[in-house]
Amino acid sequence: MKFGKTLVLTALLTAGAAFGLGTNDAHAAENYIVKSGDTLSKISIKFAGDNSLVNSIAKDNSISNVNMIFEGENLTINTDAKGNTTVTPVQTTQATTQQTAPVATTSTATTQETTPTEQATATSTAATTSTATTTAATTSTSTNAAKEWIAQKESSGSYTATNGQYIGRYQLSASYLNGDYSEANQERVADQYVTSRYGSWEGAQAFWQANGWY
């Protein structure tokens, strides 16, 4: 965060100048990396022993909602601001309420902080589901196309076509159909035959194209 780095550099230069003049009044602002479970209240307590830095941290780091910070975020902590509760007002009443509202309990703050993670997880799950659905639809389309391609090659798609011992839409051996030449049985037996021998209708189509039969 460039803003944070600028503050640190300015504070360090100021501290150095004060030291050269023999004074102890200048203090450098500190950088702090937000950890899991942190809240502005907890961070304020770490640096000041109480909640007096909450509003100062929010103001210095342009945090519009004091109840929402993110793990890994780089914050500038100015310990000189202890006790300063003035917060620059924002445009809307809602935003102002969010900035000045005290952190009631650690439990509440933690729940609000983890919301972005939950939303990210939900988004990821939705994306995975969408991808799986798309893949399944593509596979189904490809399988149906290969199946229809073979049916047209074998019998022009007719369930009643015969060629010696070969029967129906997929020209299956009569022994495979076991005397049941219904459309439903032809479909079921054809699927079983192709799956056991070629793994898929796409595989059967590739074999047919190479050999003229399947």
Give me the helix-helix angle, 106-155 and 201-211, nearest 10°: 30
- Amino acid 66: pLDDT: 86
Rounded Cα–Cα distance for residues 166 and 67 (Å): 74
What pLDDT is attached to residue 131?
62
pLDDT value at residue 119: 63
Which helix (H) or strand (E) is 199 found in, with range?
Answer: none
Tokens representing 138 are: 């593509």
> Looking at beta carbons, which pairs linking 84-90 to residues 24 or more positions away fall under 8 Å?
84/52, 84/55, 84/56, 85/52, 85/55, 86/55, 87/55, 87/58, 87/59, 88/59, 90/64
Q: What is the pLDDT of residue 139?
A: 72
Backbone angles phi, psi at 74, to 5 degrees: -95, 115
Amino acid at 165: Q
- In this prediction, residue 130 carries a pLDDT of 63
Question: Is residue 63 classed as helix, strand or coil in its secondary structure?
Answer: coil
pLDDT of residue 123: 65
pLDDT the model gives residue 124: 65
The structure tokens listed for 71 are 């793990």
Give the pLDDT of residue 117.
56
pLDDT for 179 equals 92
pLDDT at 33: 94
pLDDT at residue number 80? 77
| Mean pLDDT (10-residue bins), the chain, 214 residues | 35 35 52 92 92 91 89 89 47 41 44 53 65 66 96 96 95 94 97 96 96 95
pLDDT of residue 115: 52
Contact residues for 98 (Cβ-Cβ < 8 A; gap 6+): 64, 65, 66, 67
Q: What is the pTM of this model?
A: 0.38
Longest dimension (CA), the chain: 110
